[in-house]
């Protein structure tokens, strides 16, 4: 999205367009604060120019004319000017800092809220750790664009113009020397910004990659230790750190080249002015106050001139950051609700898959005309080898992805025509890999339903066979789970995830290998609890272990993205030539769950297939 364009230097109109967008989105919130900061910046500029102006009276009246009666008055005025500038500088710094911090917070909230509306495809294409690092780096660019522009225009530009006015008034001829600095500075800035745009973008990418790798290593530390990957990862990170260091050094080298150029040009101008003035006034009786005032103005003009020269460089960096944030904000959700889409109304909870065809972006088709019905209030189990498309069906029912063909209905309502919020609110989901969030055990169960009471949370935990081990924790339900539940075992995390689904009290229950992380004893107890929870709900179960689905009202056997067989455990097992019976024999022989062992499956006869569509 931002490849070729980011290799070019930003045109002034492009920078203005981004600033205008930021201002239009946030300006109303900060009009009063920016106005007050602007007043402070103008006072800073005015007092700076006044400091140069008053030098003429200091030299002429006090030192040349020896007017002792004016000493206290001029000294008081100088003190007042410096005090006013100090308070004005403090005021603008604090105001701009508060505005900037609030802007960063607003965009962090906005980016997170937008990301929550994006589909799973976005997070598949963007690794989470790098995405978080990239956002953290770039969100400050929005703040810096506005603050840099305001300070450049209100303080530095006004200060420079006011000081130039002082110089022209004091000595019009000498003021021409200031023009010597302008053209070389403009040429230097133009040369630098051409390189900085590309380098800054690359710096953000490689730094986010480094931070992402560090985060992933911390999250997977158990695997790192188990496979003695410490040295291997350290070498990999060392290469990334070296790249970041070299790129940072290069950016510093390029961006700071402006400093010696500015100093040389300013030194030339000041030295020339001093030499000219010294020769002109050495044999003259003219008071030197105007010359001193001119030199003071010229010296004071150096800082705002230098900062203004660097504005384009600073804006280039901030623009890259701001645009990368807007790339995320401008990414449209692919699974959007249709305009005016109604909410789902669940009366019974019947789920129908009708001729479903689907393939992930860039991959071969996964599902080929899948059709079956999960009857309301009953349990439908889906079994099959790995890669058969079982979990994909669950993802499509949740509308994590859009179909390539066919439709899915709930009580006759096409889920593509109703709101995602109402659809997902009617579904309780337990994934194959339980994920717990930062917070307490109680918090994680309450994520199932925000309005759940403590009593309902504990009841759900009892149903999920989790209450006893929770009570044994140091602080019971208020025990912190750590990052992704690191303080709990896999089985404990799974049972909390099941409790989170149960407290949702939704009419449709999806279990994707919900008992896969449990030992046999815990599995039996949780399965008993799930059997109670399934009563009155439409339940779709995905399982590898056939022992968990023997009591299902219907079993759908998947193979290579199609429905191969349907029936109950008894009817499917009775067909010895069928695929389900073959799986059952493999499980019985190995004492394992359903496995994808094609070589072991080959000697058996081909399974009897039912008719499929598409």
Could you report the per-residue pLDDT of 260-279, keeping only the tens digit for each?
Answer: 777 777 777 777 777 777 77
- Confidence at residue 353, expressed as pLDDT on a 0 to 100 scale: 95
Tokens of residue 222, six digits: 């158990």
Strand order in the sheet with 365-374: 365-374, 351-359, 405-410, 413-414
| Rounded distance between C-alpha atoms, residue 129 and residue 86, angstroms | 43
Q: Is residue 45 part of a domain?
A: yes
Whether 301 and 358 share a structural domain: no
DSSP 585: H
Whether 22 and 151 share a structural domain: yes
The residue segments making up the domain with residue 461 are: 432-505
| Rounded distance between C-alpha atoms, residue 188 and residue 309, angstroms | 9
Residues 403 and 397 sit within 8 Å (Cβ to Cβ): no
Q: Look up the CATH number of the domain holding residue 177.
A: 1.20.1560.10
Residue found by looking up tokens 């930062």 in the block = 438
Q: Is residue 337 part of a domain?
A: no
Whether residue 453 is predicted with pLDDT greater than 80 in this model: the reply is: yes
Whether 283 and 407 share a structural domain: no
Whether 259 and 285 share a structural domain: yes
Whether 585 and 457 share a structural domain: no
Whether 92 and 236 share a structural domain: yes
Residues 131 and 205 sit within 8 Å (Cβ to Cβ): no
Boundary of a domain, candidates 301, 329, 357: 329
Q: Is residue 356 part of a domain?
A: yes
State how many domains the chain has.
Answer: 3
Whether 246 and 321 share a structural domain: yes
Whether residue 417 is predicted with pLDDT greater than 70 in this model: the reply is: yes
- Confidence at residue 362, expressed as pLDDT on a 0 to 100 scale: 65
* pTM metric for this prediction: 0.68
Query: Which residue, among 302, 301, 312, 315, has the nearest Cα to 262 in the 3D structure?
Result: 302
Whether 405 and 541 share a structural domain: yes
Question: For 90-94, 312-316, 317-321, 371-375, which range has the lowest pLDDT when averaged over its residues?
Answer: 312-316
Helix segments in 182-220, DSSP class H: 182-219
Boundary of a domain, candidates 298, 329, 360: 329
Whether residue 540 is predicted with pLDDT greater than 90 in this model: the reply is: yes
Whether residue 610 is predicted with pLDDT greater than 60 in this model: the reply is: no
Tokens of residue 284, six digits: 């003259």
Whether residue 572 is predicted with pLDDT greater than 70 in this model: the reply is: yes
Whether 321 and 350 share a structural domain: no
Q: Is residue 596 part of a domain?
A: yes
pLDDT digits (tens, 9 = 90+) for 140-196: 778 877 777 777 777 778 887 888 888 888 777 777 766 666 677 667 766 776 677
Average pLDDT over residues 573-585: 85
Whether 157 and 63 share a structural domain: yes
Whether 552 and 470 share a structural domain: no
Q: Is residue 44 part of a domain?
A: yes
Average pLDDT over residues 96-123: 85
Query: What are the b/e assignments for 396-425, b being 16+ CB within 10 Å?
Result: bbbbebebeebebbbbebebbebbbebbbe
Whether residue 349 is predicted with pLDDT greater than 50 in this model: the reply is: yes
Whether residue 386 is predicted with pLDDT greater than 50 in this model: the reply is: yes
| Rounded distance between C-alpha atoms, residue 614 and residue 593, angstroms | 31
Whether 437 and 387 share a structural domain: no
Query: Which residue, among 350, 354, 410, has the nearest Cα to 376 in the 3D structure?
Result: 350
Q: Is residue 384 part of a domain?
A: yes
Tokens of residue 207, six digits: 């730094």
Residues 6+ apart with CB under 8 A from 412: 350
Q: Is residue 525 part of a domain?
A: no
pLDDT digits (tens, 9 = 90+) for 580-604: 888 888 877 665 444 433 333 333 3
Residues 579 and 557 sit within 8 Å (Cβ to Cβ): yes
Whether residue 94 is predicted with pLDDT greater than 80 in this model: the reply is: yes
Boundary of a domain, candidates 276, 295, 329: 329
| Rounded distance between C-alpha atoms, residue 480 and residue 464, angstroms | 19
Average pLDDT over residues 571-575: 88
- Confidence at residue 245, expressed as pLDDT on a 0 to 100 scale: 86
Q: Is residue 165 part of a domain?
A: yes
Which CB contacts under 8 angstroms, 24+ apart, belong to 1-7? 1/327, 2/201, 2/323, 2/324, 2/327, 6/197, 6/198, 6/201, 6/320, 6/323, 7/197, 7/198
DSSP of 313-330: HHHHHHHHHHHHHHHHHT
CA distances from 247 to 239, 311, 325, 578, 579 (A): 12, 21, 21, 62, 58
Class of residue 501 by CB neighbours under 10 A (exposed 0-12, middle 13-18, buried 19+): buried
Average pLDDT over residues 45-70: 81
Query: Phi then psi for 204, rounded to 5 degrees?
Result: -65, -40
412: left (phi over 0), alpha (psi -120 to 50) or beta: left
Q: Look up the CATH number of the domain holding residue 485.
A: 3.40.50.300
């Amino acid at each position: 999205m931002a490849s070729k364009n980011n290799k070019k230097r930003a045109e002034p109109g492009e920078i203005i367009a981004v600033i205008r967008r930021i201002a239009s989105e946030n300006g109303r919130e900060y009009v009063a604060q920016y106005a007050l900061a602007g007043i402070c910046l103008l006072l800073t500029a005015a007092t700076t120019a006044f400091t140069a102006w008053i030098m003429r009276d200091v030299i002429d009246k006090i030192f040349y004319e020896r007017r002792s009666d004016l000493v206290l008055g001029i000294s008081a005025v100088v003190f007042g000017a410096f005090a006013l500038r100090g308070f004005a500088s403090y005021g603008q710094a604090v105001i701009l800092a508060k505005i900037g911090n609030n802007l960063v917070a607003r965009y962090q909230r906005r980016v997170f809220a937008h990301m929550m509306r994006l589909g799973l495809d976005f997070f598949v294409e963007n690794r989470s750790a790098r995405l978080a690092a990239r956002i953290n780096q770039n969100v400050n660019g929005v703040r810096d664009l506005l603050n840099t522009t305001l300070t450049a225009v209100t303080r530095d530009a006004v200060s420079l113009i006011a000081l130039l006015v002082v110089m022209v008034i004091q000595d019009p001829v000498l003021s021409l020397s200031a023009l010597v600095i302008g053209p070389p500075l403009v040429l230097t800035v133009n040369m630098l910004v051409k390189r900085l745009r590309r380098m800054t973008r690359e710096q953000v990418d490689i730094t986010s990659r480094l931070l992402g790798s560090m985060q992933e290593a911390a999250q997977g530390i158990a695997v790192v230790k188990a496979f003695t990957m410490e040295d291997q990862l350290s070498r990999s990170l060392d290469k990334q750190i070296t790249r970041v260091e070299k790129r940072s050094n290069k950016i510093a080298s390029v961006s700071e080249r402006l400093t010696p150029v500015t100093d040389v040009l300013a030194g030339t101008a000041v030295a020339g002015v001093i030499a000219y003035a010294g020769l002109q006034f050495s044999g003259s009786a003219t008071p030197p106050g105007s010359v001193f005032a001119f030199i003071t103005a010229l010296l004071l003009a150096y800082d705002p001139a230098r900062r203004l020269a660097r504005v384009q460089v600073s804006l280039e960096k901030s623009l890259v950051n701001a645009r990368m944030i807007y790339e995320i904000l401008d990414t449209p959700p692919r699974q959007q609700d249709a305009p005016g889409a109604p909410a789902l109304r669940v009366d019974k909870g019947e789920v129908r898959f009708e001729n479903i065809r689907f393939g992930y972006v860039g991959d071969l088709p996964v599902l080929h005309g899948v059709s079956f019905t999960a009857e309301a209030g009953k349990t439908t189990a889906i079994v099959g080898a790995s890669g058969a498309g079982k979990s994909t069906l669950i993802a499509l029912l949740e509308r994590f992805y859009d179909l390539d063909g066919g439709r899915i209905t709930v009580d006759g309502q096409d889920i593509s025509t109703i709101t995602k919020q109402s659809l997902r609110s009617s579904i309780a989901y337990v994934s194959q890999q339980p994920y717990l969030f930062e917070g307490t055990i109680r918090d994680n169960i309450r994520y199932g339903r925000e309005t759940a009471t403590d009593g309902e949370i504990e009841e759900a935990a009892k149903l999920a066979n989790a209450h006893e081990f929770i009570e044994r924790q140091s602080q019971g339900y208020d025990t912190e789970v750590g990052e992704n539940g690191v303080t709990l075992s896999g089985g404990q995390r799974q049972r909390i995830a099941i409790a989170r689904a149960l407290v949702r009290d939704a009419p449709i229950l999806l279990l994707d290998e919900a008992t896969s992380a449990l030992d046999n004893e815990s599995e039996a107890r949780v399965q008993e609890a799930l059997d109670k929870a399934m009563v009155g709900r439409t339940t779709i179960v995905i399982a590898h272990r056939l022992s968990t689905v023997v009591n299902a009202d219907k079993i759908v056997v998947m193979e290579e993205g199609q429905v191969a067989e349907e029936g109950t455990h008894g009817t499917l097992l009775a067909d010895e030539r069928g695929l389900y019976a073959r799986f059952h024999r493999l499980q019985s022989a190995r004492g394992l769950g359903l496995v994808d062992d094609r070589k072991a499956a080959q000697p058996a006869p081909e399974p009897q297939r039912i008719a499929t569509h598409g």
